[in-house]
Structure 1
Amino acid sequence: MPLTDGSFKNKKVISIGTVSELTGLSERQIRYYESRKLIFPERSKTGLRKYSFQDIETLIEIANRLEDGVWTNEIRKELKGRKQLAKDPGFTNQLIKGQLNAQIKM
């Protein structure tokens, strides 16, 4: 049965070399983003980093944000905030309602 729920995007099976080829980032840049706690690869039994398709999307976004002049600590805060939003659908609904109210009152 094929995966249709997107769960394949979170499987950490891609090596750093392949990630480098797909993103255009050097392996050194990718390791730097990990050291700045922007990306969290899993480690294989032999210690090799493994990434997911979602990680690749995040790395591209990180590189674009850095190119726009955003600091790594700000990117980390944004990514952390997104993770919290994904865990709490009620908060997301409140956020949307607040944005709608703000636009209507303008």
Structure 2
Amino acid sequence: MGYQETSYKDKKVISIGVVSELTGLSERQIRYYEERGLIFPERSDRGNRKYSFSDVESLMEIANKIEDGVQTFEIRQEIKRGNKKEDQRSIRKKMLKGQLNAQFGIQQNE
């Protein structure tokens, strides 16, 4: 069990054309959001952008915020704060797990 199971929502398998159809955003808008650091697609061996379902959801949220007048800078700051909170939650969870394992004498093989 040495690999991390990725949720289907986080697998980067969707092309920019399909993302454009799903979101109603132009490919140019999607690339702009990437340039602004709001979305992070992976690249195929041929250099094509690949997005996940989670990315599609994020793009929809970004588009809604921009429609409401929120600036891309503000959205990027919000994303950074969200990532920081998620990192902190992850660290707390690992610490708690370690404490419980130590309390009950459970050995973890990683």
| TM-score, normalised relative to structure 2 | 0.74
Task: Tell which structure's C-alpha radius of gyration is larger.
Answer: 2
Distance in 2, Cα, partners of 1:90 & 1:51: 24
How many residues are paired up?
A: 88
Equivalent position SS for 1:29: helix
**Runs (5+) with no aligned partner, structure 2:** 93-110
- Backbone CA RMSD of aligned residues: 1.9
Change (3 A) 1:90 1:56: closer
In the alignment, the residues of structure 2 paired with residue 44 and residue 6 of structure 1 have an alpha-carbon distance, to the nearest angstrom, of: 18
Letter in 2 for 1:88: Q
Q: Higher helix proportion, which one?
A: 1
Check conservation: 1:14, 1:51, Cα contact below 8 A. yes
How many angstroms apart in 1 are the aligned matches of 2:90 and 2:17? 39
2:16 and 2:41 map into 1 onto residues whose CA distance is: 9
The normalised TM-score by structure 1 is 0.77
Q: Secondary structure at the match of 1:50?
A: strand
Distance 2:15 2:36 in 1: 19
Task: Identify if the C-alpha distance between structure 1 residues 91 and 46 changes in structure 2 by more than 3 Å, giving closer, same or farther.
Answer: closer
Question: 1:19 — aligned with what?
Answer: 19
For residues 68 and 22 of structure 1, the distance between their equivalents in structure 2, rounded to whole angstroms, comes to 20
Deviation at 1:6, TM superposition (A): 7.4
Q: CA deviation at 1:88?
A: 1.4
